[in-house]
Amino acid sequence: MTYDFHPTVLREYDIRGIIGETLGPDDARAIGRGFGTLLVRDLGGAKKPLVAVGYDGRVSSPILERALIEGLTSSGCNVRCIGMGATPMLYYAEASAEEVDGGIQITGSHNPANYNGFKMVFRGRPFFGVDIQTLGTMAAEGDWVDGFGEVESVDIIDAYIDRMLTALDGINPGTLSGLTVAWDAGNGAAGPALEKLAARLPGTHHLLFTEVDGDFPNHHPDPTVEANLEDLRALVAEKSCDFGIAFDGDGDRIGAIDGEGRVIWGDQLLMIYAEDLLGNLPNSTIIADVKASRALFDHVEKHGGKPIMWKTGHSLIKSKMKEVSSPLAGEMSGHVFFADTYYGFDDALYAGIRLIAAAARLGKSVTQLRGEMPAMLNTPELRFQVDESRKFAAIGEIAARIAASDAVADTTDGVRVTNADGWWLLRASNTQDVLVARAESDTQEGLDRLLAQIDRQLQLSGLERGESAGH
Kindly name the residue from 60, 61, 109, 429 that is annotated as catalytic: 109
| Cα–Cα distance, 462 to 371 (Å, whole number) | 42
Beta strands in 2-49 (DSSP E): 15-18
| Cα–Cα distance, 439 to 455 (Å, whole number) | 12
Q: How far, CA to CA in Å, does 390 sit from each of 8, 412, 461?
A: 17, 19, 10
> Residues with Cβ < 8 Å from 48, sequence gap 6 or more?
76, 77, 78, 149
> For residue 258, which of 346, 153, 163, 373 has the smallest C-alpha distance?
373
Q: How far, CA to CA in Å, does 416 sit from each of 300, 330, 419, 427?
A: 19, 18, 10, 8
| Cα–Cα distance, 15 to 188 (Å, whole number) | 19
Known catalytic residue at 319:
no
> For residue 19, which of 52, 62, 51 has the smallest C-alpha distance?
62
Question: Phi and psi dihedrals of 83, rounded to 5?
Answer: 80, -160
Is residue 157 within 8 A of residue 189, CB to CB? The reply is: no
DSSP state of 469: P
Would you please indicate which residues are annotated as catalytic (active-site) residues?
109
